[in-house]
Amino acid sequence: MSSNIYELLNDVKTDMGNYKIKETNDMENKRWKKAAAKNIMGTGKKKKRWKPIAAVCAAAVVLAVGVGSAPLHYVVQAAVKSISYDIASILGIKKNLEPYKTVVGKSVTANGITVTLNEVILNEDEIVVSSTREYDEKITDENKSIIGVHVYINGKSVSDGASGGEKQEGDKTIVSISECDISKDVDLSQTLDFEIQFVDYDNMGKTWDFEFSSSGEELAQSTNTVELDETFTLEDGTEVYLNKMTDNALGQKIYFSTSTGECDYDLVLKGFDDCGNAVEFTLSRWSDGVGRLNISTIQNGNLSDEAAELYLTPYAVKFPEQSGRLSNDFKQAGEEFTIHFR
């Protein structure tokens, strides 16, 4: 398994309902913000690298709520090949995504920051969001805001976790990509009226709100779903059931459940396709007894269009029971299996 810290911290998701809120004073908040920006987001010298925005949010969760019973979940985000506001370019996808995306192109200015919602794509159980932030002044560790994304439909919050990455372009601009998980009771294959709210975590009263309509129907129709019947057992005896795999222009996902209804392990499926290319799926989501592993493209790139079979082996490592250093000591959790998906 890779020891790249960006792979470990790139996307962190947690169910806030399982935690208790711990109040912090202004001095503690400022001290944490400065330390987090320096240690996790960088000092600004490496402006050409995409940085994991959710890593800082995870640190905020640890500070604000302490250690809870639910595990944090990590997933490798797609590597960004170039600076662009286009989702396909940002995610390094060479396929034409024009039929599936909604170009919003709206901007809202508040408190010296202009947020532009560039475009969105509805992809099964998530919404992919491209946005930019323009600061009136030069971006520094002190004025750089930690921005989260909340999704509403008909005034009801449907966000079920979010992840993504960002990149600073020049002195005043940040380009971001966010993947927001949507509650499983929402059907994204139909046309829906959305409100996306960008929230400044340093000042919860500061928001940038956007309204638009979008549909995931065309992408849903072009998504290939393969039923799976694979099982492996974790060290604590929990059985993991791989239920289905989906394949479309944005990538591949594998959905799973467990015998206990819980998932206390970070999971990885690693192997090759029938073209000889390395393939890896990493844990992206665990919510209400259903988990998801997304294909990782950081090291291996996007899955070949020529591939028709995957040969994967499961690996697992237990999440820390308390806050602390994440373990990268993955151990094989089952035998190799084959997925015929095209």
Per-residue confidence (pLDDT) for residue 71, from 0 to 100: 35
* Least confident segment among 65-79, 151-165, 240-254, 328-342: 65-79
Residue 283: inside a domain, yes or no?
A: yes
Confidence of residue 324 (pLDDT cuts 50, 70, 90): low
Per-residue confidence (pLDDT) for residue 121, from 0 to 100: 94
HEC string of 125-157 equals CEEEEEEEEEECCCCCCCCCCCEEEEEEECCEE
Q: What is the percent of the chain where pLDDT is above 70? A: 74
pLDDT score of 175 more than 90: yes
Confidence of residue 4 (pLDDT cuts 50, 70, 90): very low
SS3 286: strand
- Counting the structural domains of the chain, the total is 1
228-246 residue pLDDT tens: 999 999 999 999 999 999 9
Q: CATH number for the domain including 317? A: 2.60.40
Residue 197: inside a domain, yes or no?
A: no
pLDDT score of 327 more than 90: no
Cβ of 203: how many Cβ atoms within 10 Å?
Answer: 10
DSSP-assigned states of every residue in 290-310: EEEEEEP-TTT-SPPTT--EE
Residues in Cβ contact with 310 at an 8 Å cutoff, skipping those fewer than 6 apart: 271, 272, 273, 274, 279, 338, 339, 341
Residue 256: inside a domain, yes or no?
A: yes
199-208 residue pLDDT tens: 998 877 789 9
Residue 33: inside a domain, yes or no?
A: no
Cβ of 332: how many Cβ atoms within 10 Å?
Answer: 12
Mean pLDDT over residues 323-342, rounded? 88
Residue 320: inside a domain, yes or no?
A: yes
| Mean residue pLDDT across the chain | 77
276-286 as b/e, with b when 16 or more CB fall inside 10 Å?
Answer: ebebbbbbbbb
**Domain of 243?**
221-340
Mean pLDDT over residues 26-40, rounded? 43
Mean pLDDT over residues 260-278, rounded? 94
Specify the higher pLDDT residue, 296 or 133. 133
Residue 120: inside a domain, yes or no?
A: no
Per-residue confidence (pLDDT) for residue 1, from 0 to 100: 42
pLDDT score of 2 more than 60: no
Q: Which of 62, 264, 304, 57 is nearest to 178 (CA)?
A: 57
| Model-wide pTM > 0.85 | no
Residue 335: inside a domain, yes or no?
A: yes
To the nearest 10°, report the CA torsion of 315, 318, 323, 325.
Answer: -50
Do 264 and 333 touch, CB atoms closer than 8 A? no
pLDDT score of 193 more than 70: yes
Pull the structure tokens for residue 234. Answer: 């974790």
Residue 258: inside a domain, yes or no?
A: yes
Per-residue confidence (pLDDT) for residue 323, from 0 to 100: 65
Do 81 and 92 touch, CB atoms closer than 8 A? yes
Mean pLDDT over residues 85-95, rounded? 82
* Least confident segment among 62-66, 185-189, 320-324: 62-66
Per-residue confidence (pLDDT) for residue 23, from 0 to 100: 46
